[in-house]
């Protein structure tokens, strides 16, 4: 018998586009996606949480995660710090994602520094792949990782959003 993972969906208008937010029935944030990527959300989460079958429902009111993420976009950068998240992924990916959450708002680190922080300095490429597979953008701040030379590198939401998020955090950093 296949396990069912019910996820509640909500939408949030942000200054950089509409975000789709998915949380489980216990309130754990499971995914954030920019809505122009809606068509890939269901297949992505189906693969990410396999072998469970993901079932989606839209909620009539805002999720707690939606409220916290809205506060982040309003300038309260720490509103998302304590949001509970729950992801699938490999042990290595989850270690990278936990470490991402410890990068202070308004700061950046390189992929090399991130790999050193997890105790795997030789795993720079694997860290980059884990960063790119992060299903919970903004809250698990993969946008804070940059190239070794300080250049902005890829971001699933697009480089304009990455630049905006970093500028936003620098502006509102306490």
Burial class (CB in 10 A: 0-12, 13-18, 19+), 51: exposed
Tell me which of 12, 142, 145, 165 is the catalytic residue.
142
Question: Are 29 and 21 a contacting pair, CB within 8 Å?
Answer: yes
How many residues appear in the chain? 174
**105 given a catalytic annotation:** no
Question: Are 20 and 41 a contacting pair, CB within 8 Å?
Answer: yes
Q: How far apart are CA 92 and CA 145, in angstroms?
A: 17
Question: Are 158 and 142 a contacting pair, CB within 8 Å?
Answer: no
Instruction: Assign 21 to helix, strand or coil.
Output: strand
Residue positions annotated with a catalytic role:
142
């Amino acid at each position: 018998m296949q396990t069912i993972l019910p996820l509640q969906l909500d939408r949030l208008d942000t200054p950089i586009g509409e975000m789709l937010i998915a949380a489980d029935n216990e309130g754990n944030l499971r995914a954030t996606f920019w809505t122009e990527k809606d068509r890939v959300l269901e297949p992505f989460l189906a693969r990410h949480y396999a072998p469970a079958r993901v079932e989606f429902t839209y909620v009539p009111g805002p999720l707690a995660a939606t409220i916290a993420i809205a506060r982040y976009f309003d300038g309260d950068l720490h509103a998302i710090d304590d949001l509970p998240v729950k992801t699938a992924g490999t042990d290595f990916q989850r270690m990278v994602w936990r470490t991402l959450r410890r990068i202070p708002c308004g700061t950046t680190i390189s992929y090399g520094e991130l790999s050193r922080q997890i105790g795997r300095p030789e795993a720079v490429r694997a860290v980059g792949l884990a960063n790119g597979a992060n299903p919970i953008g903004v809250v698990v701040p993969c946008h804070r990782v940059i190239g070794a030379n300080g250049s902005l590198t890829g971001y699933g939401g697009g480089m304009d959003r990455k630049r905006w998020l970093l500028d936003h955090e620098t502006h509102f950093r306490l």
